[in-house]
Amino acid sequence: MVEQVEIVVASGKGGVGKSTLTSVLAVELAKRGVKLVAADADAEAPNLSITLGVREWDSVEPYYEGRIAYIREDLCTQCGICKEVCPLDAVEVVDEKHVINQWICEGCLTCSLACPEKAIRFIFRVEAGSIMVKRETGYGFPLVSSTIRPGRPNSGKLVTEVKNKAKTLLAGVGFILVDAAAGIGCQVISSLTGAKIAVLVAEPTPASLSDLKRIHLLTRHFMVAPALVVNKYDINPEGLEDILDYAGREDIPVLGMIPYDDTVPKAASTGKPLNIAYPESPAAKAMVEVAEKVAEEILVDWRKWYSRYRPKRPAPYIPRIK
């Protein structure tokens, strides 16, 4: 039986070092002979390719999705009803004519239903973005990424296509390491759907703790086994205690704690993973230790890990965090 296991690196907020950690994990796991494909699941702001130094892609495929409305001038009486009902304010008046801004329109059908002259038409299968593939990153694994055009909806569906492409490249037994977008939106939901394990990255701050709770609830909803990595753990001892207290109460295993290290942004500017650019830096050593734990404690027998740490029951909904 073909077995492909998805491991998602996620965080409730941006800027916590998620992509940096993902690149180090991918490089270190590949060094240990783990068969994997890296997938950048942030279609709106993909940056894993920057961290891995990918400047050219082996293939760039257009991604088609959705529809965009336009107005037939020969049928339009300029009544303005479409402008009144458009929920996105995509209808504009240009040179005394009503036109639809294609950067804003999401093809919701509201204007076409309201138009008394039936003057609204649609362009179907709009080129909404691209899916990019690098079959060899130089570190022993492929990378799949994507980008979505400004104003196009359904970036979550594009992330699903990225994961499907990664599964095709894996071509058999192995792991898909997914670098999720920040937050808990549709892209993150698509990232977690079908995943078995989520490595949650947090910082010892009140904002990060609040967002950690949100992303943890999302993993519970999808019955994904969580693990925790605390980045910049030494910047706020009180905040670290709060993070670890929450992890203890919720039975979230801690894979590691990474110190603050000013070589991290320097590595990003070189286009190399931290463990390659600055292998002796404190943060690089800590991330390598996290990768060792992932390899030795999770990947050796992921079913055992999943059985031990998966939620006992799914979260039925995402409540407000107080």
Q: What is the pLDDT of residue 234?
A: 95
Chain-centre distance for alpha carbon 193: 12
Q: Which residues pair with 107 in a beta bridge?
A: none
Give pTM, 2 decimals.
0.86
Where do you find CATH 3.30.70.20 in the chain? 67-124
Q: What is the pLDDT of residue 316?
A: 67
Q: Are 233 and 286 a contacting pair, CB within 8 Å? A: no
Q: What is the pLDDT of residue 224?
A: 96
Domain 67-124, classified CATH 3.30.70.20, yes or no = yes
Integer Cα distance of 155 and 46 in angstroms: 12
| Distance (Å) of CA 247 to CA 22, 243, 295 | 21, 6, 21
Q: What is the pLDDT of residue 317?
A: 62
Please give the single-letter amino acid code of residue 27.
V
Tens of pLDDT, residue by residue over 98-136, are 999 988 898 899 999 999 999 999 988 788 899 999 999
Where do you find CATH 3.40.50.300 in the chain? 4-63+147-309
Q: What is the pLDDT of residue 320?
A: 57
Averaged pLDDT in 10-residue chunks for the chain of 322 residues: 84 90 97 96 92 94 89 95 95 94 90 95 88 95 92 81 94 93 91 95 96 94 96 96 96 96 91 95 97 94 93 70 50
Integer Cα distance of 236 and 244 in angstroms: 12
Tens of pLDDT, residue by residue over 271-304, are 999 999 999 999 999 999 999 999 999 999 999 9
Tens of pLDDT, residue by residue over 132-159, are 999 999 999 999 999 988 877 667 889 9
Alpha-carbon torsion 260, 298, 310, 159, what sign?
A: positive
CATH of 4-63+147-309, one of 3.30.365.10, 3.40.50.300, 3.40.50.2000, 3.30.70.1710: 3.40.50.300
